[in-house]
Chain A
Amino acid sequence: MLDDIQNLRNIGISAHIDSGKTTLTERILYYTERIFAIHEVKGKDGVGATMDSMELERERGITISSAATYCEWKGHKINIIDTPGHVDFTIEVERALRVLDSSILVICAVGGVQSQTITVDRQMNRYKVPRIAFINKCDRAGADPYRAVRQLRQKLQHNTILMQLPIGLEGDFSGVIDLVSMKAVYFEGPFGEDLKEGEIPPWLLDEALAKREEMLDAASMFSDELMEAILDGSVREELIHQAVRRGTISRGLTPVFIGSAYKNIGVQPVLDAVTNYLPSPAEVKNSALDIDQGEKEVLLSSDPRDPLVALAFKLEITPYGQLTYLRIYQGSISKGDYLVNTRDRKRIKVGRLIRMHADEIEDISRAEAGDIVALFGVNCVSGDTFTDGRLNYTMISIFVPEPVISLSISSNDNKSEVNMAKALNRFTREDPTFRSRVDEESGQTIISGMGELHLEIYVERMKREFGAEVSTGVPQVAYRETISQRAEFNYTHKKQTGGAGQYGQVAGFIEPLEDGNYEFINEVRGGVIPSEFIPAVDKGFQSCLRRGLLIGFPVRGMRVTVNDGQYHAVDSSERAFVQAAIGAFKQAYLKAKPAILEPIMRVTVECPSEFQGNVMSSINQRRGLIMSAAEDGVFTTVEAEVPLEEMFGYATTLRSLTQGKGEFTMEFSRYARVPESLEEDLKVRYKERQKRGEV
């Protein structure tokens, strides 16, 4: 059984938008005989690539939802997750990286390492994902794989080693030289399915020998055996593979492959590299938290005979019903088994166990540790852990960034209202960064997410998939409130209006908490507030966090310490203490120098160096803080921190500032205090809305 896991690979394919990763996936599925025809992403046949399963994705030529798919190559089982390329959908990338063991980083030979590649690479570092790189589009005009390799080294600090050399470039690109076997490889047949090996073209021999030496030098750092073999001239291919594999898995090396997925060149060697150099699930350390031992971190075994631990990492609504994608970390699942959801301890029966191939389904009877499978009709949310009931483990929760932008949304008619509710219910289950709530005061439905495009896509999907005609308001930044100094409270809630009265007194202080969280500390001694009422005090304070008193946005970064109080034997109740806490919050909050915080985005702008001044100026005008500017040949990458409020419409501004040659990505960095002038402005606007009865 454990032998099987050695031949399993869970890989992701990540890259900058338009680097051709969907085309690469499509070719992989073709060569592994999972599909029998090739469709292009923006194909003229109207079918679209197999991995872009949603209509909208096909239309826009971008991948939004990760579809998991399964294939086999030379005795190895490979699960592939096609990950989205646009930064607004990073939660999809983050979730994919959480369950994958390794990745193929696709880089465009023309565009090189672009801003999105940098963001995705940063995410991969966070999850310690080993990777190989595929320099795609070598057939395009301006293709320079060597520049892309240098950028991998310098911009991303990868210890790259070229495993291949291109034979010709741009229109002359015809094959690759394998530096391990020292053979030229050509891809013949209508779809490049016939690999023909030949001698290295004489004019490339010297370069191939030199590059092989470089490759051997780098690989030998990970294998004494290879180093000795180099010294005594007895290098075998197997030794090279072993050394490169060791280097790759330890993330000390990034082997680089070259090709053009569109022209059917170089894809099969990438599949060989996946099996040769990327780790099996058994070679990756995964841990869970044991709830019975105070959430102590425990290593998982990846042994199918051990008790089951699986993570639901993605929910997808299909025409057949809700599909839950699971990564099995330990143990096995068979059809008919019972699983226990760690979150609510509910038992579910495994009815159908399936493997997904984009939109198509394959029923299987059993799956083991390391595998990625899907279940039908399981009621859970993304991020839930499943066991067979013998363990009470939870997988460390997937890092979920906070939504930074919100939008009011309303349905245009009654039918749309029902459909909108259905759509919101589905989207919030599928995507933890997409949230929906009804504003208490205005009664408006507010949706929030990671960026303008993120919300736009969901609004589009509501219209197309659910037939909900909706209108949206202006995007709003997700401000927060916080306190900046300690303030005492001592509040008595007392009501005596006939019948049972209400009485509760709480005293203590609130103070700022730097990590942005909420903390409640009970220092009540001598039972002056009976212990059964303490949770009510906590609840009362927490209810106040939803709406601060400055501009009505949630409060973050506050510690509440309750150290005194009083109760009444007859009139005290949970409700009375909740009310007492609410009163105490109002009493202390304004004394604690409250302030307004705004989301600050980490913005990466890439443009030809001649536009550096324009870009710097545009960032400065947006209250941005330039952190660095890196020049690499003719391109400059400017990194800055800019308030989200100032970033609306930046795509258009940047285009006009750089003659359409600049592009940018951004991701949430932190919350920071808004400048005083803006704070006053926000307060005034809030008061006006209060007067108009809108809040």
Chain B
Amino acid sequence: MKDFSEVSPLRILESSAYKGLGKGNLGVLIARAGGGKTSCLIHIAFDELFRGENVVHVSLKDAPEKVASYYSVIFSDLVKVLDIENESEVRARLDKRRIILAYLRQSFDLTRLRESLTNLVREADFIPGTLIVDGIDFGETGRDVFEGFKEIAKEFDLEAWFSALSHRHIAEVNERGIPFPCNKVDDLFSLIFQLYATQSGIFFRFLKDHDSELIPDAVVRLDPNNFLVVE
């Protein structure tokens, strides 16, 4: 079996000064609709799962069954790419480390999330190392919510990854080069990535790497079929 880190979009962190997001910090990847946000976010989840971390996937739009099916489909891709032999054993091992929390019909609030995480830690002996948050509308969500997430990340000592949807018709970029919809909350995020497509392929690049200077050519190219790194 090959190592997941070879094909993970997070391989881009090899060129980062910090090599990772770090507990208590928030990270976000920005892309347009259909740009592969959920796939990349789940790859980040797999990156953590393969490292032995527990992952809580928070979904604000899809029911757990749908989220689980995303994981299942992506895992099937990984079986081929990584030459996983004992598929069902590995699948069972990773499934044990993942719990999906879904908040349907605008039922999400930070208090409920904090309560659910507390329940998981206290009642189910499940200590999350990473939070994957999919489906938050950055344009409509107040700064206080992200501040709340930052507190949760510190309180539970975990990394939290988000996806943000950018729009072709909104070209706002702040003075630090961070585009809409993250331009007003970028100070709360330690890592910001952008997923973008050009004629020569799909790319994953840094927009922010903690407090370090960006390395201009730190880009990885992704396979448009499975959003994994291609050489």
**Contacts A154-B63, A157-B63, A629-B99; A616 near B104 (Cβ below 8 A):** no
A155 touches B124 (CB 8 A): no
CB of A620 within 8 Å of the partner chain: yes
The answer to whether B122 touches A613, judged by C-beta atoms less than 8 angstroms apart, is yes
Mask, A615-656, CB within 8 Å of B = 1, is: 011011000011111111100000100000000000000000
Taking a contact as CB atoms under 8 Å apart, the answer to whether B64 and A626 are in contact is: no
**How long is the Cα–Cα vector from A627 to B63 in the complex, in angstroms?**
12
**Stretch in B30-38, B112-120, B167-175, B188-196 with 4+ CB within 8 Å of A:** B112-120
Chain B residues 79 to 124 lying within 8 A of chain A, measured CB to CB, are 88, 95-96, 99-105, 107-108, 112, 115-116, 118-120, 122-124
Please tell me if B68 contacts chain A, counting CB pairs below 8 Å: yes
B104 touches A155 (CB 8 A): yes
Asked if B126 lies at the interface with its beta carbon under 8 angstroms from chain A, I say yes
- Verify B100–A633 contact, CB threshold 8 A: no
Tell me whether A631 and B112 are in contact in the complex, defined as CB-CB below 8 angstroms, given that A626-B120, A626-B124 are known contacts: yes
Smallest CB–CB gap between B121 and chain A, Å? 10
Contact of A628 among B96, B101, B105, B119 (CB under 8 A): B101
- Which residues of the other chain, B, contact A628 by a CB distance below 8 angstroms? 64, 67-68, 99-102
Residues of B within 8 A of A633 (CB): 105, 107
Given A609-B112, A612-B115, A612-B116, are A627 and B103 also a contact pair (CB < 8 Å)? Answer: no
Does the CB pair B123–A631 fall under 8 Å? no
> Shortest CB–CB separation between residue A136 and chain B, in angstroms?
21
Q: Say yes or no: A620-B101 contact (C-beta < 8 A), given A630-B64, A633-B107.
A: no
Q: Is B66 an interface residue (CB 8 A)?
A: yes
In the complex, the chain A residue whose C-beta lies closest to that of B113 is: A631
Bound-complex Cα distance A85 to B117 (A): 34
- Shortest Cβ distance from residue A206 to the other chain B in the assembled complex, whole angstroms: 23
| Any B CB within 8 A of the CB of A429 | no
Q: Which residue of B lies closest to A612 (CB)?
A: B119
Contact partners of A586 in chain B: CB under 8 A:
none
CB of A150 within 8 A of CB of B123, answer: no
- Residues of chain A within 8 A (CB-CB) of B112 are 609, 631
The answer to whether B124 touches A631, judged by C-beta atoms less than 8 angstroms apart, is no
Q: Say whether B144 faces chain A, with CB atoms less than 8 Å apart.
A: no
Give bound CA distance, A626 to B120, whole Å.
9
Instruction: Give every chain B residue within 8 A of A55 (Cβ-Cβ).
Output: none
Q: Tell me whether B140 is interfacial, beta carbon within 8 Å.
A: no
A156-176 contacts to B (CB < 8 Å): 156-157
* CB of A295 closer than 8 Å to a CB of B: no
Given contacts A627-B68, A630-B63, A639-B64, contact A154 B105 (CB under 8 A): yes
How many angstroms from the CA of A626 to the CA of B125 in the assembled complex? 11
CB of B97, distance to nearest CB on chain A (Å): 10
Task: Report how many residues on chain B are interfacial, defined by Cβ distance under 8 Å.
Answer: 29
CB distance from A360 to the nearest CB of B (A): 42
Q: What B residues does A630 contact at CB under 8 A?
A: 63-64, 100-104
Bound together, the chains give a CA A632 to CA B116 distance in angstroms of 14
B118 proximity list for chain A (CB < 8 A): 613
Indicate whether A207 reaches chain B with its CB closer than 8 angstroms.
no
Chain B residues with CB below 8 A from A439, complex form: none
Cβ of A272 within 8 Å of any chain B Cβ, yes or no, is: no
A514 within 8 A of B: yes
Alpha-carbon distance between A101 and B118 when the two chains are bound, in angstroms? 46
What are the interface flags for A40-53 relative to B under an 8 Å C-beta threshold, 1 for contact and 0 otherwise? 00000000000000
Contact B64 A627 (CB under 8 A): yes
Give Cα distance in the complex from A628 to B101, angstroms: 6
Q: Which residues of B contact A514 (CB under 8 A)?
A: 88
**Residues of A contacting B115 in the complex (Cβ-Cβ under 8 angstroms):** 612-613
- Within the complex, the shortest CB–CB distance from A448 to chain B, in Å, comes to 26
Q: Which residue of B lies closest to A624 (CB)?
A: B124
A625 and B108 CA atoms in complex are apart in Å by 23
Q: Which of A154, A156, A625, A629 contacts B101 (CB 8 A)?
A: A629
Most B Cβ at <10 Å: residue of A157, A625, A631, A633: A631
Is B107 in contact with A157, judged by CB distance below 8 angstroms?
A: no
Contact of A629 among B65, B68, B108, B116 (CB under 8 A): B116
- Which residue from chain A places its CB closest to the CB of B61 in the assembled complex? A154
Indicate whether A629 sits within 8 Å of B105 (C-beta atoms), given known contacts A612-B115, A617-B123: no
User: How many angstroms between the C-alpha atoms of A619 and B120 in the bound complex?
Assistant: 11
Q: Chain A nearest CB: distance from B53 CB in Å?
A: 17
Assess the A625–B96 pair: CB atoms within 8 A. Answer: yes
Q: Which A residues between 593 and 622 are near B, CB-CB below 8 angstroms?
A: 609, 612-614, 616-617, 619-620
Q: By the criterion CB–CB under 8 Å, are B105 and A627 in contact?
A: no
Find the A residue at minimum CB distance from B112: A631
Closest Cβ of chain B to A245, distance in Å, is 27
Residue of B with least CB distance to A616: B123
**B63, A155: Cβ atoms closer than 8 Å:** yes
Q: Which residues of A contact B126 (CB under 8 A)?
A: 626
Question: What residues of B have a CB within 8 angstroms of the CB of A616 in the complex?
Answer: 119-120, 123-124
Known contacts A154-B63, A612-B115: A629-B125 contact under CB 8 Å: no
Contact B102–A629 (Cβ < 8 Å): yes
Q: Which residue of A lies closest to B98 (CB)?
A: A627
| Residues A193-250 near B (CB distance < 8 A) | none
Q: Whole-angstrom distance between the alpha carbons of A627 and B67 in the complex?
A: 11
Tell me the minimal C-beta distance from B38 to chain A in angstroms: 16
Q: Are A631 and B103 closer than 8 Å at their CB atoms? A: yes
Name B100's contact: one of A150, A614, A620, A627 (CB within 8 Å). Answer: A627
Interface positions, chain A 561-605, Cβ under 8 Å from B, are none
Residue in A155, A619, A627 whose CB lies within 8 Å of B95: A627
The answer to whether A620 and B105 have CB atoms under 8 Å apart is: no
- Which residues of the other chain, A, contact B108 by a CB distance below 8 angstroms? 631
Per-residue interface assignment for chain B, residues 111 to 153, with 1 indicating a CB less than 8 Å from any chain A CB and 0 otherwise? 0100110111011111000000000000000000000000000
Which residues of chain A come closer than 8 Å to B101, judged between CB atoms? Answer: 628-631
Nearest residue (CB) in B for A625 is B96
- Distance in angstroms from A627 CB to nearest chain B CB is 7
Q: Mark A652-688, 1 if CB is under 8 A from B, else 0.
A: 0000000000000000000000000000000000000
Between-chain CB contacts (< 8 Å), 8 pairs = A155-B104, A157-B63, A612-B119, A613-B118, A616-B120, A625-B95, A630-B101, A630-B103
Question: Which B positions have Cβ atoms within 8 angstroms of A?
Answer: 63-68, 88, 95-96, 99-105, 107-108, 112, 115-116, 118-120, 122-126
Closest 4 CB pairs of A and B: A628-B64, A617-B123, A628-B100, A630-B102
Given A613-B115, A628-B68, A631-B102, 13 other A-B residues pairs in contact with their CB atoms under 8 A: A155-B63, A612-B115, A612-B116, A616-B120, A617-B122, A625-B96, A626-B99, A627-B95, A627-B99, A628-B102, A630-B100, A631-B116, A633-B105
